[in-house]
Chain A
């Protein structure tokens, strides 16, 4: 079964530092997403990416965040100047036409 791969699985960072979360999407998928899930809460949409550009972003996705697909395969989420409240599980998801496939997630802990 195809799968979305995310690295690292767990990242601990000091407040104010920058982190880059990586995702390898399923090869023939066209739509890429980043979602965030604070412990015990719902899955929150951050950003969608299509045709090498952001197609939509949420209010959460402010100037602190950026996404790119630097080499045509990896899909990255960069969080600059991390804050304590950025601690969450970050899921990458990709889809073709129907369902979204989620990666295992990166647990980000900001200390």
Chain B
């Protein structure tokens, strides 16, 4: 079945450093979504990418969707302690169901 792989599993950075998480799908995706889950919380939607090669920015966050629509990345510039949490990508295939990657847990040292 459809699989979405995400790396790295964990990342510890010093405040102010950059952070990137990568997402790869075994199949071509209709779209990809990114969610953030704070410790003890529930996933909260960040953004959706639909077009091949699409790049979107939200302040210090940059999201990219690959040309083949099988991979994506989230890059955070100059991390802050408020960025702590687990970032999940979620791919939507032809059936419409969201399949989540394993998530990348970000720890930021002040």
Contacts and interface: CB of A to CB of B under 8 A. Distances in A.
Interface of A: 31, 33, 35, 41-45, 48, 50, 55-56, 91, 93, 98-105
Q: How large is the interface on B (under 10, 10 to 19, 20 to 34, 35 or more residues)?
A: 10 to 19
Contacts of B100: 35, 42-45
Contact of A43 (B45, B95, B103): B103
Ranked nearest first, the 3 interchain pairs of A and B with the lowest CB-CB distance are A99-B45, A42-B102, A43-B100
Contact of A33 (B33, B45, B98, B103): B98
B42 interface: yes
Nearest to B100: A43
Contact of A48 (B42, B44, B88, B97): B97
20 contacts: A33-B98, A35-B100, A42-B101, A42-B103, A43-B88, A45-B98, A45-B99, A48-B96, A48-B97, A50-B96, A55-B97, A56-B96, A98-B48, A99-B45, A99-B48, A100-B33, A100-B45, A101-B45, A102-B43, A102-B44
A67 to B, nearest CB: 14
Given A91-B43, A101-B45, A105-B42, A31 B96 contact: yes
Summarize A's interface: helix, strand, loop or mixed.
strand
Contacts of B42: 91, 102-105
B97 A33 contact: yes
A56 B97 CA distance: 8
Given A43-B103, A103-B42, A105-B42, A55 B33 contact: no
Contacts of A104: 41-42
Contacts of B90: 43, 100
A22 B91 CA distance: 26
